[in-house]
Amino acid sequence: MPQGSLQNKYDQKELEVNALLEITQAVNSNLSEDYLYKIFEFTLRANLKLDKLTLYVKEEDWECKVQFGTKKDFTQVALGSSCLQVSDTTEIKKLDLEVPCFSEFDIIIPVKHKDRLLAFVFVKVKSKSEDLVDTTFIQALSNIMLVAIENKRLARKQLEQQAFQRDMEIASNVQNYLFPKNLPKVGRIQIEAFYQPCRTVGGDYYDYIELEKENQSVVCIADVSGKGIPAAILMSNFQAVLRTVVRTASDPLEVVQELNYHLCRNANRENFITFFMAIYDYGTKELRYVNSGHNPPLLLDKKGGIQQLTIGSTVLGAFDPLPFIDMGTVKDIEDFSLFLFTDGLTETFNDKDEEFGTERLEEFLKSHQGKPLEQVHTALLKALDDYRDGHPFDDDLTFLSCRITNDTL
């Protein structure tokens, strides 16, 4: 072998080793994906006698990430099925191409990692001698770069998932602060509540507020459209406004109108809230309420009668002012139970896609009237579990029982 030819081969191998070291250093320096692609292009152009090159990488779909010297803009060209079937370095002229523009190139080089196809490199050499192209070097260089890019993406995705999980945990903790910590269990008012979000955080909310000066108690429940962090944030703002307004408003109508006003501005009418609130006056023995598009709570009197509380307005946050609003009143009531719930309860489905429904709920409450509230809730959860028989809950599940005994005062 001529000395000059041997020296050329030695020099070429030295260039290739240096190129591999360069891109390895770039990978270790945690450079961006775009920068790695630029180094890849520069390295091949500087060290190989290439006239044209195109690199296709498999992401969601096959995308052209690097190209130079081409007549066609291959970022706008999809790989054909004939290219996708190539498993070894192949001359383009031996392929039956359904995408003619790939005939610009001499060779197609598949790049694999552990038998998984990562990319295709199309090359055309300046000389017609194909032995001038070291396809093994191109494969090695491409493999190092693409595996590094994939690892960077996996690491970034993991960090994003961890950050999202932290955000969800924070939102969940914030949401838990919205619910009253101490509910009365004895005396003239007893309250039991249950809340189970469909996800880490949900869009349901309930509250109990004691207005001692007015000798009144307030119970309410709400369901915001949407789920997750945005719903939790909106509900947090809603709760803050409610707890401020309810202590200064003259009646439930004023509370609801004020809530709607703030909600329309804070949510830009992109989300709405169904809401129910009731105020019981121990002195007048009168229950006043407004139902704003919420599932009608159920009022059970001591004689076993049951009625749905439907009077009120449409949902909050959709219209300002509200197109209509009324207040419901139940007079001369002193011994009763109030059951509030969100649609996650009645819309619990079984394996036949049949919902639990309001009628079944009413029958359950009638059959458990007078029992301790904690016992009622335990039995209701069992009834729901038995009914769905393993079918998952599709929505947040929230319900609240309020029992008032005011006939001895």
Cβ proximity of 134 and 12 under 8 Å? yes
Burial 377-404 (b: 16+ CB within 10 A, else e): beebeebbeebbeeeebebbbbbbbbbb
* Cα 183 from Cα 33, distance rounded (Å): 55
Q: What is the pLDDT of residue 409?
A: 46
Q: For residue range 75-132, list pLDDT tens digits in order.
A: 999 888 888 888 898 999 888 888 888 889 999 989 888 888 888 999 888 765 445 5
Q: Which residue has the higher pLDDT, 281 or 81?
A: 281
**Region 2-10: what's the mean pLDDT?**
54
Residue/partner pairs of 363-368 with CB below 8 Å, 24 or more apart:
365/298, 365/300, 365/306, 365/337, 365/339, 366/300, 366/304, 366/306
Q: What is the pLDDT of residue 130?
A: 47
pLDDT averaged over the chain?
86
Q: At residue 393, does pLDDT exceed 60?
A: yes
pLDDT band for position 408 (cuts 50, 70, 90): low
Q: What is the pLDDT of residue 258?
A: 95
Q: Which residue has the higher pLDDT, 31 or 406?
A: 406
Dihedral-angle region of residue 357 (phi above 0 means left; psi in -120 to 50 means alpha; beta otherwise): left
Q: At residue 5, does pLDDT exceed 70?
A: no
Q: Which amino acid is at 315?
A: V
Does this model's pTM top 0.85? My answer is no
> Using H for helix, E for strand and C for coil, what is the string for 284-330?
CCEEEEEEECCCCCEEEECCCCEEECCCEECCECCCCCCCCECCEEE
Residue 79 per-residue DSSP state: P
pLDDT band for position 65 (cuts 50, 70, 90): very high
Q: What is the pLDDT of residue 18?
A: 61
